[in-house]
Structure 1
Amino acid sequence: MTTVVAQGTFDILHPGHVHYLSDAAAMGDRLHVIVARSRNVTHKETPILSDRQRRAMVDALAVVDEAHLGHPEDIFVPIERIDPDVIVLGHDQHHDEDRLRESLRSRGLDADVRRASEREGREDELCSTGRIVDRIVDRRC
């Protein structure tokens, strides 16, 4: 059985998230998703939805076998617990694949690191939480 891990913020689920997680699920038999805690999101705006709510929404997706909240201090703790065969990064996530591989090796984890494919955009869809928020502000404020 091939265990796959995907991770992200997943604030305001959109078609890009569904594509990423579906792509990740197709790379193995069981998909675990680690949802970043708000306080650990430093590379972009703080999530709008709570940690608990974002985890519950991801867990409700049919392609996800189990969703977990990330560790408050060490992002590798849930990865060590799950011990995946594959870690799938989103096509546009900020992670450095080589640094991630080094960090995994230094902790004795042997997981293949891959990138999900890019979703073909459709003109009528927004695949970015920031763009969704901007549209809401434009239309409602």
Structure 2
Amino acid sequence: SLFKNADLTTFLTEQAKTASWLASNCSGAFLYAHAGLLDGYTATTWAGGEPRLQREFPSINVIEDRNVVVDRNRISSNGGIPSYQGALVLLAQMSSKRKAREVFETIQLNRLIPWTEITRYLPEK
């Protein structure tokens, strides 16, 4: 039903014109895809939903079996714990690796995964 919401689609499209970053988590990639905001980009969605995203939106290069995908100013991630990874990658891009690591340790994500599970998704600069 959200795909039929013209106001939402317009809002996403308008925001994308000036936003520095667009980030989606889980099925949120489908909202961006429906608005055409992932056309020509590489992205992911919830674990197991990638084939559907690829089938429904063939102009997106959909990656399977990867928690976080960064393509230019688009970040997409699977749901669950990978959503934290995507958020920390976004934070590192918007501020710094140092601040992202501080949050990583503050929320005690370091008890579940090593820091390298965040930095591996950061684009090389």
Same structural fold, with TM-score higher than 0.5 when normalized by the shorter chain: no
Write 1 or 2 for the structure with the bigger share of helix.
Answer: 2
More strand by share: 1
Greater relative contact order structure (CA < 8 Å, 6+ sep): 1
Q: Structure 1 length as normaliser, TM-score?
A: 0.33
